[in-house]
């Protein structure tokens, strides 16, 4: 399943803390669509299914459904904050092709 870098873990923990809701996890999913065939989806979720894959990074829980976890095997989620680029980025070695926006792949 996808791994969180230290920078991403810190930022996700900060964002979850701002939500003021107990039990939130970061859900990362792969969905059909986007300009290259599949797109990434990330959101906070308090509903964890029995067949979800769950990993913990300090106080941050990362959740994926089984099929998304397979497509994200070996991938990492990073967070960058600079003048040129700010935001989350998924580095996925399974992606054969990515689009210019960086949010879809095949």
pLDDT (tens digit per residue) in 36-61: 578 889 999 999 999 999 999 999 99
pLDDT of residue 106: 44
Task: Provide the number of structural domains found in the chain.
Answer: 1
pLDDT of residue 104: 44
User: In terms of residue numbers, what domain contains 92?
Assistant: 3-96
Taking the model in full, what pTM does it have? Answer: 0.83
Return the SS3 of 7: helix
Contacts of 53 (CB under 8 A, 6+ apart): 1, 63, 64, 65, 66, 69
- 46 vs 104, more confident: 46
Domain at 10, CATH number:
2.60.300.12
Tell me: pLDDT of 73 over 60: yes
In a domain, 102, yes or no: no
């Amino acid at each position: 399943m996808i791994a969180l870098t230290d920078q991403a873990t810190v930022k996700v923990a900060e964002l979850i803390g701002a939500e003021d809701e107990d039990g939130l996890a970061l859900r990362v999913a792969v969905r059909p669509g986007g300009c290259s065939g599949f797109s990434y989806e990330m959101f906070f979720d308090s509903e964890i299914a029995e067949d979800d894959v769950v990993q913990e990074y300090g106080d941050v829980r990362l959740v994926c459904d089984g099929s998304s976890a397979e497509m994200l095997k070996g991938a990492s989620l990073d967070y960058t904050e600079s003048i040129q680029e700010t935001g989350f980025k998924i580095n996925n070695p399974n992606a054969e092709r990515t689009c210019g926006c960086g949010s879809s792949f095949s």
